[in-house]
């Protein structure tokens, strides 16, 4: 076991090495005290020396493979393998002769110590001959720690750790329907110092595991220099927006002290001159790490604190009754309200009761069996959509009815069947849903909004999608729904429309059977399907290669495309020849209309440009989509006249476009 993260000033590479240098006597003393009284038990006789008279313990004692177990406070419980090299002597007095034989024996030691400013009160709890697994001794209730003393925790154990925390510091929350007094727990039950102060702009909170110097706001709200003690939690007042964020961040830091203090104590022990022992928690979410390697230790700590905090603030054993009682009360108070609105009001009231964000209240409600909470407080393209309902059991854990506009574009670019329906106006994107545009539905469409009649059961008219999270940059995590102490914001989903799903198949077939009066749209969709089928398989994977292929198909030179798109020859040449070129969305759209590309080819080109410039699809809006779908045969002037009326950017966004449009 080699500790990662200690490139300099390493005193001991692992805990076993430390024990051998500092605490070898505890093993020697045990051996010399016990061996003569337990010869048979320890199996130290051999065929050569079957009745030893004396034993000599050699110096080459091996200590290896420590296995650690979770415990509250500073107590560290662990098993360790110790191999003793022993010289056994048998004397034959009648023959004035002695026989000597050297052998080794391995024992499993179970030990405990207090890991606080070094190893204190190291004590032997049990010893077994040979190598024994702890679980084989009916100690299966114990939770293992990694080699870096971070709990090895699964998603199924989140409640277990939350309940241990509450039992230690606020057991009332496990038996009574009460909110958790976060600051009181930190200051009085855990006896930690707690401050609202100033930290770096991307840091929400920090926990200090050693004494250091820093700046703290005093009672007069002045920022002063101060010695920050070990066992101090600081919340960044500059980034905390509401009580939900405040409580979640505070309990998040308290979990670090409760679960992860041993990690830092071990770090001080093995590498005392290493970096400052402060755990700062920034705005980035952490996925469950792949393994327990040293480089993942801090990722595990962040993931654990993120997951456990909501379960402490809203304990599983009591939160269900709180939510149900609030729901029943609101239902009685507002008998005319639709179900989704009742659930939305419930989430708001639960948020107030527990002092948590709407995100925490919603996700905990879903976890506790209130499936309809999935239909409230949803955000698409950073805008909260109306609450909606669906029959119980309609959605699996990874399914959703809502979809961002960029995800919808992605769907169309990879699904000819849906693209054809969209061009024929048989399905529409509306309010974050993809809805069949049938005679049955049209009376309930109000502009670009869905009527409550549809929202009362979106499963009847809206496609559902298999959803998976897609994050390209750390900044994408800001305000993510899954980071429960933050406000909600940007959509982070990629969506797949499984047309083999029986419900989706039903909606698809009814939309397909819808009679369309748009003869031009039908002819256009047939042309698109034919063109796309014949030509798409021959297109290169790169943006520049695809652009050149479309130019060749049209018979366009670079000069001709400049004339049609107002993108300069120099830029066109760069896009074709430089694989790292990064065009703006307005430039890509100008090239699409300059080449008169149909919808599928336009989306394909945008997606290929997106490999060089992230999130181009998110920049495509409804006006662009309308033009791509219905006006791909128009010229650049027509497009810019339409865009100018809506005060949108011209395409391309260069001086040529401004001059030609006389703006």
Question: Can you tell me the distance from the alpha carbon of 616 to that of 618, in angstroms, rounded to the nearest whole number?
Answer: 5
The pLDDT, as a whole number, for residue 211 is: 86
Q: What percentage of the chain reaches a pLDDT higher than 90?
A: 36
Q: Name the band, by pLDDT with cuts 50, 70 and 90, for residue 439.
A: confident
The pLDDT, as a whole number, for residue 589 is: 93
Q: What percentage of the chain reaches a pLDDT higher than 70?
A: 79
pLDDT tens profile 222-251: 778 888 899 999 988 888 888 999 999 999
Strand partners, 208: 232, 278
Widest Cα–Cα separation across the chain: 122
The pLDDT, as a whole number, for residue 471 is: 43
CA dihedral in degrees (351, 356, 362, 365; nearest 10)? -80
Mean pLDDT, to the nearest integer, of 288-303?
Answer: 74
| Strand extents, DSSP E, 408-462 | 427-430, 433-436, 445-446, 449-450
The pLDDT, as a whole number, for residue 282 is: 58
Quick check: 192 pLDDT over 60? yes
Q: Name the band, by pLDDT with cuts 50, 70 and 90, for residue 511.
A: confident
Residues with Cβ within 8 Å of 625's Cβ and at least 6 positions away in sequence, in order, are: 405, 409, 429
Mean pLDDT, to the nearest integer, of 603-627?
Answer: 84
Q: Name the band, by pLDDT with cuts 50, 70 and 90, for residue 212.
A: confident
Question: Can you tell me the distance from the alpha carbon of 339 to that of 321, in angstroms, rounded to the nearest whole number?
Answer: 19
Tell me which range, 131-135, 140-144, 620-624, is most confidently predicted by mean pLDDT: 620-624
The pLDDT, as a whole number, for residue 274 is: 53
Question: Mean of the per-residue pLDDT values for the chain?
Answer: 82
Residue showing tokens 């030609």: 660
Quick check: 662 pLDDT over 90? no
Residue 97 or residue 450, greater confidence = 450
The pLDDT, as a whole number, for residue 469 is: 59
Mean pLDDT, to the nearest integer, of 306-329?
Answer: 96
The pLDDT, as a whole number, for residue 167 is: 96
Q: Is the CB of residue 106 less than 8 Å from the CB of residue 130?
A: yes
The pLDDT, as a whole number, for residue 256 is: 94
The pLDDT, as a whole number, for residue 475 is: 33
Mean pLDDT, to the nearest integer, of 458-479?
Answer: 64
Q: Name the band, by pLDDT with cuts 50, 70 and 90, for residue 522.
A: low
Tell me which range, 85-94, 175-184, 262-271, 380-389, is most confidently predicted by mean pLDDT: 175-184
Buried b (16+ CB within 10 A) or exposed e, 125-144: eebeeeebebeeeeeeeebe
The pLDDT, as a whole number, for residue 476 is: 34
Quick check: 186 pLDDT over 60? yes
Question: Can you tell me the distance from the alpha carbon of 532 to that of 332, in angstroms, rounded to the nearest whole number?
Answer: 56
Q: Name the band, by pLDDT with cuts 50, 70 and 90, for residue 295.
A: low
Question: Can you tell me the distance from the alpha carbon of 198 to that of 240, in angstroms, rounded to the nearest whole number?
Answer: 11
Tell me which range, 24-38, 166-180, 191-205, 424-438, is most confidently predicted by mean pLDDT: 166-180
Least confident piece of the model among 36-45, 115-124, 451-460, 493-502: 36-45
Q: Name the band, by pLDDT with cuts 50, 70 and 90, for residue 216.
A: confident
Quick check: 465 pLDDT over 50? yes
Residues with Cβ within 8 Å of 329's Cβ and at least 6 positions away in sequence, in order, are: none
Mean pLDDT, to the nearest integer, of 47-73?
Answer: 75
The pLDDT, as a whole number, for residue 588 is: 93
The pLDDT, as a whole number, for residue 478 is: 31
Mean pLDDT, to the nearest integer, of 617-643?
Answer: 84
Quick check: 479 pLDDT over 50? no
Tell me which range, 166-175, 209-218, 450-459, 642-651, is most confidently predicted by mean pLDDT: 166-175
Mean pLDDT, to the nearest integer, of 360-376?
Answer: 94
Buried b (16+ CB within 10 A) or exposed e, 263-290: bbbbbbbbbeebeebbbbbbbbbbeebe
The pLDDT, as a whole number, for residue 491 is: 42
Quick check: 593 pLDDT over 80? yes
Q: Is the CB of residue 543 less than 8 Å from the CB of residue 602?
A: no
């Amino acid at each position: 076991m080699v500790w990662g993260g200690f490139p300099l000033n390493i005193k001991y590479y692992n805990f076993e090495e430390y024990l051998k240098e500092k605490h070898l006597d505890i093993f020697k003393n045990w051996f010399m005290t016990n061996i003569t009284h337990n010869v048979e038990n320890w199996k130290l006789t051999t065929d050569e020396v079957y009745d030893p008279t004396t034993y000599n313990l050699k110096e080459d004692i091996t200590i290896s493979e420590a296995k650690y177990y979770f415990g509250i406070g500073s107590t560290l419980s662990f098993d360790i393998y110790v191999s003793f090299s022993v010289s056994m002597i048998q004397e034959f007095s009648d023959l004035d002769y002695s026989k000597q034989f050297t052998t080794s024996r391995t024992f499993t030691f179970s030990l405990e110590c207090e890991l606080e400013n070094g190893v204190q009160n190291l004590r032997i709890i049990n010893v077994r001959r040979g190598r024994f697994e702890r679980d084989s001794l009916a100690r299966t209730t114990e939770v293992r720690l990694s080699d870096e003393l971070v709990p090895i925790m699964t998603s199924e154990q989140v409640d277990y750790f939350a309940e241990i925390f509450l039992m230690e510091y606020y057991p009332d929350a496990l038996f009574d329907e009460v909110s958790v007094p976060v600051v009181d727990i930190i200051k009085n039950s855990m006896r930690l110092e707690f401050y609202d102060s100033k930290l770096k702009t991307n840091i929400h909170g920090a926990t200090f595991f050693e004494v250091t110097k820093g700046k703290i706001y005093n009672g007069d709200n002045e920022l002063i220099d101060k010695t920050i003690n070990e066992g101090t939690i600081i919340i960044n007042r500059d980034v905390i927006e509401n009580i939900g964020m405040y409580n979640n961040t505070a309990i998040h830091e308290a979990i670090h002290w409760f679960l992860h203090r041993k990690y830092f104590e071990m770090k001080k022990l093995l590498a005392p001159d290493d970096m400052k022992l402060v755990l700062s928690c920034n705005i980035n979410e952490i996925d469950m790490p792949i393994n327990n390697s040293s480089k993942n230790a801090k990722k595990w700590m962040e993931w654990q604190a993120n997951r456990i905090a909501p379960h402490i603030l809203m304990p599983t054993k009591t939160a269900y009754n709180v939510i149900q009682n609030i729901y029943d009360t609101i239902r009685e108070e507002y008998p005319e309200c639709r179900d989704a609105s009742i659930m939305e009001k419930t989430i708001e009231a639960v948020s107030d009761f527990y002092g948590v964000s709407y995100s925490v209240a919603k996700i905990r409600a879903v976890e506790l069996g209130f499936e309809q909470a999935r239909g409230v407080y949803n955000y698409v393209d950073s805008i909260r959509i109306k609450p909606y309902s669906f029959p119980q059991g309609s959605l699996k854990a990874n399914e959703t009815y809502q979809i961002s506009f960029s995800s919808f574009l992605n769907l169309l670019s990879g699904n000819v069947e849906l693209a054809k329906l969209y061009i024929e106006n048989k399905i529409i994107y509306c309010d974050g849903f993809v809805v069949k545009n049938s005679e049955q539905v049209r009376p309930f469409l109000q502009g670009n909004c869905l009527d409550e009649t549809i929202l009362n059961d979106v499963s009847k008219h809206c496609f559902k999608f298999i959803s998976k999270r897609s994050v390209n940059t750390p900044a994408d995590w800001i305000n993510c729904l899954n980071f429960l102490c933050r406000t909600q914001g940007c959509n982070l989903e990629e969506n797949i429309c499984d047309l083999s799903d029986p419900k989706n198949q039903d909606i698809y077939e009814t939309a397909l059977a819808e009679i369309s009066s748009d003869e031009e749209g039908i002819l256009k969709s047939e042309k698109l399907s034919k063109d796309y089928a014949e030509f798409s398989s021959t297109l290169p994977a790169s943006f520049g290669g695809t652009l050149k292929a479309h130019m060749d198909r049209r018979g366009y030179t670079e000069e001709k495309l400049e004339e049609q798109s107002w993108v300069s020859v120099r830029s066109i040449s760069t896009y074709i020849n430089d694989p790292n070129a990064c065009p703006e969305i307005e430039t890509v759209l100008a090239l699409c209309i300059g080449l008169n590309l149909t919808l599928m080819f336009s989306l394909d080109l945008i997606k290929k440009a997106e490999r060089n410039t992230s999130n181009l699809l998110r920049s495509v809006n409804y006006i662009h989509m309308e033009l791509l779908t219905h006006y791909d045969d128009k010229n650049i002037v027509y497009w810019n006249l339409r865009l100018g009326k809506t005060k949108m950017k011209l395409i391309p966004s260069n001086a040529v476009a401004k001059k030609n449009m006389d703006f």
